[in-house]
Amino acid sequence: MPRPGLLRPVLLALVALVLLPLPSASARGDRRPDLKRLFAQAGTVGTMVVQERGGRRERTTIVDAPRSARRYLPSSTFKIPNSLLAIERGVASGADEPYPGPHPNVIVDGAPLLPAQCEGDLTLATAFRFSCIPIYQQIAREIGLDAYRRDLRALRYGNGRLDPALADRFWLEGPFAISAREQVRFLQRLRTGRLPLRVRTMDEVRRMMITEDTAGTVVRSKTGYVFTTTPRVGWWVGWVQAGERTWTFALNLDVTRPEHLAARTTIGRAILRELGAPLTG
């Protein structure tokens, strides 16, 4: 049974004081229209917002400012707040919460969308890693729409538009949506522990997000694929940490060809390297 009211209201005022503002599309921030060429070379259009912190440098870089403010369905990037709420509310005990198989796949364009791992025994961590939609739909049904309304408002995540008819898939079909700029604001608060959640909850999800840990550089990230709209949209969000320096980012792009799914991370990594993040390949 979900625990009610675990988002601590006493912290909400503190959150307001420590929010790290992201510049508006018409205000400050380094514009890098030259980096739009990376999207063009891949035959698509997209945006990326990067906040760099640490050392002597604090800057925000925006590629395609108008698009960075445009909201899209979060798709699997919503697994970040969804995992936080599952653990915070007791729907999942933590990253090791078991989900015994078998589980159904999701059919898109007549073929299974999800990797075969999603059909077998899972934990919350592996369901997160492989983007196993049915597990998170089960979590959504246990949390309930009323709790989501309150908690997502407290987390300041998304536009708050939750359709009761889509209670276990509102992040896949809308009208719930979020912009790249809003994703970065949210991720900054998660990265710095400034969400109104228990420390353990944030620690668990930050560990689940690790996709790379080499030579002193740690990447925490999540991809997303919006397959219910035209055009379809791909996401890559997260942050890179190298010593005291961090690059918190959100990228989205139009997916009109299969290879655009891989372009989410290849373009994102190229932009992060351009901005000084010590990434390879």
Domain boundaries, the chain: 27-274
- Residue range 27-274 forms a domain whose CATH class is alpha beta
Average pLDDT of the chain to the nearest whole number = 92
Q: How many CA atoms lie within 13 A of 166 on its CB side?
A: 11
Beta strand residue intervals within the chain, DSSP E: 30-31, 46-53, 59-63, 71-72, 98-99, 107-108, 111-112, 122-123, 178-179, 210-214, 217-226, 232-242, 245-255
Structure confidence at residue 112 (pLDDT) = 98
Lowest mean pLDDT among 8-17, 157-166, 201-210: 8-17
What percent of the chain stands above pLDDT 70? 90
Answer whether residue 240 shows pLDDT above 60.
yes
* Spatial separation of the C-alpha atoms in residues 247 and 241, rounded to whole Å: 7
Catalytic residue among 24, 26, 68, 76: 76
280 confidence band (pLDDT: 50, 70, 90): confident
User: Residue 5 — pLDDT band, cuts 50, 70, 90?
Assistant: low
pLDDT-wise least confident of 14-28, 80-94, 147-161: 14-28
233 Cβ contact partners less than 8 Å away, ≥ 6 residues apart: 72, 73, 75, 225, 226, 252, 253, 254, 255
Which residues does residue 53 pair with via DSSP β-bridges, in sequence order? Answer: 246
- pTM, full prediction: 0.92
Question: What residues contact residue 223 under an 8 Å CB cut-off, 6+ apart?
Answer: 76, 77, 131, 234, 235, 236, 264, 265
Q: Once rounded to an integer, what is the mean pLDDT over residues 130-155?
A: 99
* Residue 27 reports pLDDT greater than 60: no
Bridge partners, 107 (sequence order): 112
Contact 162, 172 (CB under 8 A): no
Is there a catalytic annotation at residue 179?
A: no
Please, which pLDDT band fits residue 23 given cuts at 50, 70 and 90?
A: very low
Model confidence band, residue 11 (pLDDT cutoffs 50, 70, 90): very low
CA dist 93 and 91 (Å) reads 7
- Does the pLDDT of residue 209 top 80, yes or no? yes
pLDDT at position 14 is 39
